[in-house]
Structure 1
Amino acid sequence: MRVLVLGKGAWGRTLVTLLERQGHRVQAWSRSGGGDPGLLLAQQELVLAAVAMAGVGDLALRLAPQWPQGLPLLSCSKGLDPERLSTPSQLWEDAIAGLPLVVLSGPNLATELDQGLPAASVLASRHRDLATALQRQLSGDGLRLYTNNDPLGTEVAGALKNVMAVAAGVCDGLGLGANAKASLLTRGLAEMGVVIEGLGGQISTLYGLAGLGDLLATANSPLSRNYRYGALRADGLAHQQALAKVGATVEGAATALAVTRLADQRLWHLPICEQVADLVQERARPEESVRSLMDRALKGE
């Protein structure tokens, strides 16, 4: 296929490498490189959007007038828009009416995929035939793709696992042990479920590749930017110092702020997300966040 990849960050570059290995003809565009991406659209059979969450809304509006009818988009961004509290696919669909859209998510650490290590991910879409076709065309030796019909739940899971990965990095950075880590991730999974169900996603998605699968990879690997950020905060670095040390976008930080705003509106109780948001805003130190979680009122599981 002729494919355009929007975004040349770590994830975008990895997607370009994967597609070229599979024999697709790939072009790539980034905001830093300049040029008009709209001029490239007419030549493509598929567009992959791998820009950071902060750039999705503006890019969707910019491309909407030039988007060819019927050209499918594979959304590969993860997070929640901090102002509109929307997922990436919601921003694209709001900007481009009738857009054939599929979401890609799962345990796909870019460094491992670059090394040719095997991984599996999910293609989520309400357009079943399109998802099935892309499953055949984009699966390869190093990447096995599954499908589901819950793009919203898939995106929410992919966004919130980054928040939990920050918390996991703090847990490991403070040396709290395996019991604490297991407890944290289990309760974190429950919080992810609250948001998925509350927004109308399917709870079964939580236990698939985009939920539990991605959480296990991201919350246990120093290859994860969100995990490294949490570990650096536990080591005493301030927010901006930790971001500079990571040297790349930490989506979990912004997502924590967005999801706690959403929780305030919907009256959801998300204690781990709240503590990560407090940590990001430097309203609490890592040790205080742990103490706050442990001192909460007792309740049923």
Structure 2
Amino acid sequence: MPDNATRVLILGHGAMGRAFETLLSARHDVAVWDRDLVTGVETQPLEAAARGREVVMFALPSNPHDELAARLAPCLATNALCVSIAKGLDARGRTPAQVFAQHFGPRRDWAFLYGPMLARELQAGRPGFAMAASLRPSAGARLQALFAGTALHLDCLDDVHGAAWAAILKNVYVPLIGAADGLALGDNLRGFLVAEATRELAGIVEAMGGRADTAYTLAGLGDLVTTATSASSHHRRLGADLATGDATQLAASGANIRSEGVHTVAMVRAHALFAWERFALFALVCDFLDDPARLQAGLDAYLARRFAAPTGR
């Protein structure tokens, strides 16, 4: 182990947890904490696992972030860095960035990694790309140093809340793009929907207090294109299945990682997080999820409004 090895704790041993373990184990002192989803039994008490760790990586969905961050805050060293990859809203409609801000505050380094970084490709040694989004430049620099020499390449971004909303909301649009593919509506429509989704995403990010241009970074556009076109994308396949009358995946997946976009739509509407009716493509996704059979009519109406001839005097 190199003399400058960092003591890292990975929370969660799913696909991304294993990918991070693969990337970091050769250069750093890596430990893994996990919890059985059925019994709740932990591999060891979280507080003991975190003792002396310099970096804690949340390779977990959004819902457990509040509980785990609350447990970690009093026992981590003051210079410990907490980082998450979660791209969903919790049951109260909060982003993981909002949860971290509550528990870790302005005096601790915390950050998020958002971008095209599919776990299977990272584990195979293929390149991944992400924004290291944090309010403090020191956190981004530490993450770049941590992953130096690995297949994961990082840019830094200080718009952490904008990055969180971009990464979360892009999953809302992917089922729609997958549905268009499932109905064989063409490559041209896919390209149009990606462009429209990114433009609308920028407007929502700005409405939520972020910067509009964050939607065009790896956290937004980069991740959107990857998720919307990857053959292994659960979000894309869910949309394609719904468009062809198969709701099995939606019924089986609930609010877990396979349907983050669906869960996000539900949380936005339930908690009135923003005026979603003002965003026509978001509203079209809502209509599609409510009644997939209306998709073609909804797309036709969207295109008719979008390209309506200007009215003269």
Could you say whether these structures have the same fold, taking a TM-score greater than 0.5 normalized by the shorter chain as the test?
Answer: yes
User: In the TM superposition, what are the counterparts of 1:92-103 in structure 2 within 5 Å?
Assistant: 92-97=100-105, 98-103=107-112
C-alpha distance 58-99 of structure 1, shift in aligned 2 (>3 A):
same
The alpha carbon displacement at 1:264 in A equals 6.4
**Equivalent residue, structure 2, for 1:187:** 196
Q: State how far apart, in whole Å, the 2-side matches of 1:86 and 1:248 are.
A: 16
Structure of higher CA gyration radius:
2
**Equivalent residue, structure 1, for 2:8:** 3
Letter paired with 1:229: L
User: In the TM superposition, what are the counterparts of 1:245-264 in structure 2 within 5 Å?
Assistant: 249-261=258-270
Letter paired with 1:11: M
The alpha carbon displacement at 1:279 in A equals 4.3
Match for residue 98 of structure 2 among 84, 90, 101: 90
C-alpha distance 73-264 of structure 1, shift in aligned 2 (>3 A):
closer
User: In the TM superposition, what are the counterparts of 1:1-301 in structure 2 within 5 Å?
Assistant: 1-21=6-26, 23-32=27-36, 34=42, 35-83=44-92, 85-97=93-105, 98-238=107-247, 240=249, 243=252, 249-261=258-270, 265-266=274-275, 269-280=278-289, 283-285=290-292, 287-296=293-302, 298-299=305-306
The alpha carbon displacement at 1:5 in A equals 0.7
Q: Residues 87-141 of structure 1: CA distance to partner in whole angstroms, max 9, x if unpaired?
A: 1021122123333111111111111111111122111111112311321221334
Misfit runs of 4+, over 6 Å? none
Q: State how far apart, in whole Å, the 1-side matches of 2:135 and 2:13 are.
A: 27
Q: State how far apart, in whole Å, the 1-side matches of 2:162 and 2:270 are.
A: 18
| Helix, strand or coil at the partner of 1:250 | helix
Percentage of matched positions with identical amino acids: 33
The alpha carbon displacement at 1:268 in A equals 5.4
C-alpha distance 58-289 of structure 1, shift in aligned 2 (>3 A):
farther
The alpha carbon displacement at 1:290 in A equals 3.4
Tell me, yes or no, if the aligned pair for 1:14 and 1:113 is still in contact at 8 Å: yes
TM-score, normalization by structure 1: 0.88
C-alpha distance 235-152 of structure 1, shift in aligned 2 (>3 A):
same
| Helix, strand or coil at the partner of 2:79 | coil
Higher relative CO (CA 8 A, sep ≥ 6), structure 1 or 2?
1
CA RMSD of aligned residues (A): 2.4
Letter paired with 1:89: A
Letter paired with 1:289: L
Letter paired with 2:164: E
| Helix, strand or coil at the partner of 1:51 | coil
The alpha carbon displacement at 1:204 in A equals 1.7
C-alpha distance 194-14 of structure 1, shift in aligned 2 (>3 A):
same
Tell me, yes or no, if the aligned pair for 2:162 and 2:214 is still in contact at 8 Å: yes
| Helix, strand or coil at the partner of 1:169 | helix
C-alpha distance 193-259 of structure 1, shift in aligned 2 (>3 A):
farther
Tell me, yes or no, if the aligned pair for 1:173 and 1:231 is still in contact at 8 Å: yes
